Structure formats: structure tokens, C-alpha cells
Amino acid sequence: MFVSYIIQRDMRTEIKGIMDYETVALDDANSALLIIDQTQLPYKTEILSLTTQKEIWDAIYLLQVRGAPAIGVAAAIGIYLAAKELAIENKEAFYAAFSKAKDYLASSRPTAVNLFWALDRMDDVVKENLEKSVAEIKELLHAEAVKIREEDIWVCKQIGINGLALLKPGDGILTHCNAGQLATVKYGTATAPMYLGQEKGYNFRIFADETRPLLQGARLTAYELHASGLDVTLLCDNMSAMVMKRGWVDAILVGCDRVAANGDAANKIGTSVVATVAKRYNVPVYVCAPTSTIDLQTATGDEIEIEERPAEEITEMWYGKRMAPAGVKVFNPAFDVTDNDLIAGIITEYGVARAPYKESLQAIFEQKKAAGN
Ligand code: MRU
């Protein structure tokens, strides 16, 4: 389907590991968004070069680029590319066309707030510079897209530092879905403390839930951690209670797609099951959340729109032939909301927020503002 704009793997592929590739990048020379096609991992590492809005929309919807921070960066680059292509000099007409492209990209997935956060940041650039020429506005959009991407690297590193402070050498850590480097520009969120700990010789034992139905845990988390030399054990989703009961898990680290103002956190479907079980076994659950994933405009988790995806992801995908009865009703929500009382802390780039979250999350944003960001 995407054959025409696939970049061939270069000769270095054989010596290049998955961590050496850029999850999401801007190719200025070809006016393209470059992504690793994550639907093909771990079998094949293919870099897609996307130039049209339809290609970029499809890549987000189809999860070729996925994970809240990576979606945000892809959208920022995507809307910049859309603006660059606009051969319009009239500013009102330019802004109207820009807004149309923005709404189109915003319709690709509903839950990860980073998508809207990044598009809004790009929108602000246009609105705040309407006195400038269209050519100048395009330059500023380029700079903002590059900045959003660069910031993600710093943010993940800080989450790594703040998260590592909550852990000790030899800890068992369970994670769900993929909040790894493949979900961000670098380091990941939930995996950042793991990678940082590895550098310091912490010898963590990681348990990765396979994460039905799209298997981001098995295909992506287990892949990138294993490729990085971490001690990772793959589990089916229904095994986490057993490993917690055995005392193998000291902490749960997960990512998230949107944190509400009260600390309720939407993440990949199954996260709330893990958190509920963790409470039973007194294992702390830490949600790793860049401030770009925290949505103070959303009061509670009940207000977060939960994406529902095609039934075939459950009934057919990954099986040689369909394994569920034809015509059976299927419920396929991509995310669930973990209630704030199940969360021991929300790890951000500006520190760890603890309950009551309404106040502590507010304080995190005040800190961010004080830092000039
Ligand atoms: O449907 P996906 O693969 O985009 O879901 C991703 C997750 O649920 C991640 O845990 C979340 O986006 C955080 S990524 C740092």
C-alpha cells in the first residue's frame, strides 16, 4: 500500500539496531515526515517518507506512528508540511486552509491529547504572527515543529531522572503497552528510568505485558528493551496478578495518553486492570506523563474520549485465520482510564505529582511556567 514512498533500507541496516533509528523526524530536503512503520516491527524495519496529508493521517490512524508523544511530534511536522505546500499569499485564505488541514489531522485519533496540544501550538504560531508575511510564518512553523521534536528528547530524559529516583537497583518493574523510545523521539517515558538505570548498573528486571489486541508490549516494548540489553520478560496480559503475587514486581511504570486535572489517567486498554491488581499487592503504580499529556481542561477521566477501533483487530489480526465466530459482537476500546486513587505518582519532566492531584498537577504547571516553558 505504501510501497511508492518507502525508503529502502540502506546497507547499514544489518548493523543498525532499532534504537539507532529515529522514530519520527523531519526530512527538510524532501519535505517529508519520516517514521518507522511500527506495524511491521519487529520483523521489518522500514522507514516511511510521508509527504501528503492523507499519508500522514493514515499513518497516525493505522498506528504506523503511535504513542502519545510521537503522535504529537508527527502532527506538528505534518501541519508544517501542509502549511509549506500552501501556495497562498493572502493571510486570511492561508489561515483558513491551515485550519482545515489542522482539523483534518486532529481527526486521526481522539484520545492522546498530545495530538491536539501540538496542533494548537502550531496554530498559536500562525495566530500570533499574522502581521508577518506567509513566507515568514512558514519559517516560524518550521522552527516550532523542530522545537516540539527537540523538547520531547529533553522531557523524556527528565522523566527518566525523576523516575529513577523512585527505584532501587534490582527492582522488578512491570509495564503495559509501549511507552518506550518507539512512542517518543528518544528514551520513551516509562522506559526512560529503565534506560537510565541500565547506564548506572541498576540491573532492573522488566516485565512487559504483551498488550492485546495490538501487541505493542510484545512487538515493541519487548523488542526495544531486549535489543538494548535489558533483562525483559514478556507476559500475557492475564499474568500480571501472578507475578505481583509472587513478589516479583516492585513498581509499575506506564505511559499515558491523557491525564485529567484530577489525576485520572487514560492509557492503553488494560492499564486499569494492572493498576487495580497492583493495589491488591501493594505495588506502586507510577504514570509517566510529559506535561504535554496533562490536560487541565479535562476535569476527570469520565470526560476523556476513548477511541474504539475495528473489531477485526480482535477477531482476525495476528491469526492465520479468523479465530472468533463470524458476526459476534466485539467491544474494542483502545484505552481505559486508571482512577487517580490507584496511582502512586505522576512522573513529569518537572517532578513527581502526588495526590491530591488537582493541586499537585497545577503546581507542576506553575513550575513549568517559572522555568519559562
Ligand atoms: O494505541 P497506541 O499504541 O498509540 O497507545 C499507546 C499507549 O497507550 C502509550 O502507553 C501512551 O501513548 C504513552 S507513550 C509514551
What's the per-residue H, E or C state across the chain? Answer: CCHHHEECCCHHHHHCCHHHCCCEEEECCCCEEEEECHHHCCCCCCEEEECCHHHHHHHHHCCCCCCHHHHHHHHHHHHHHHHHHCCCCCHHHHHHHHHHHHHHHHCCCCCCHHHHHHHHHHHHHHHCCCCCCHHHHHHHHHHHHHHHHHHHHHHHHHHHHHHHCCCCCCCEEEECCCCCHHHCCCCCCCCHHHHHHHHCCCCCEEEEECCCCCCHHHHHHHHHHHHCCCEEEEECHHHHHHHHHCCCCCEEEECCCEEECCCCEEEECCHHHHHHHHHHCCCCEEEECCHHHEECCCCCHHHCCCCECCCHHHHCCCCCCCCCCCCCCCCCECEEEECHHHCCEEEECCEEECCCHHHHHHHHHHHHHHCCC
Could you identify the atom of ligand 1 that is nearest to the CA of residue 335? 8
In the structure, which protein residues have their CB atom closer than 6 angstroms to any atom of ligand 1? Answer: 63, 66-69, 112, 177, 179, 183-184, 189, 216, 255-257, 267-268, 334
Mean pLDDT of 40-56: 97
Indicate if the pLDDT at residue 7 is higher than 80.
no
Residue 140 C-alpha to ligand 1 middle, in angstroms?
Answer: 29
What is the position in ligand 1's atom list of the atom closest to the CA of 184? 15
Confidence tier at 341 by pLDDT (50, 70, 90): very high
In angstroms, rounded to a whole number, what is the distance separating the alpha carbons of residues 218 and 235? 8
pTM, whole model, 2 decimals? 0.95
Which atom of ligand 1 lies closest to the CA of 189? 15
Higher pLDDT, 157 or 9: 157
Catalytic, 341? Answer no
CA of 180 to the centre of ligand 1 (A): 9
Q: Say what percent of the chain tops pLDDT 90.
A: 95
Q: Encode pLDDT of 259-290 as tens digits.
A: 999 999 999 999 999 999 999 999 999 999 99
3, pLDDT greater than 70: no
| Catalytic residue (choose from 37, 152, 209, 257) | 257
Q: What is the pLDDT of residue 15?
A: 61
| pLDDT given at position 71 | 98
Segment 62-119, tens digit of pLDDT: 999 999 999 999 999 999 999 999 999 999 999 999 999 999 999 999 999 999 999 9
1, pLDDT greater than 70 = no
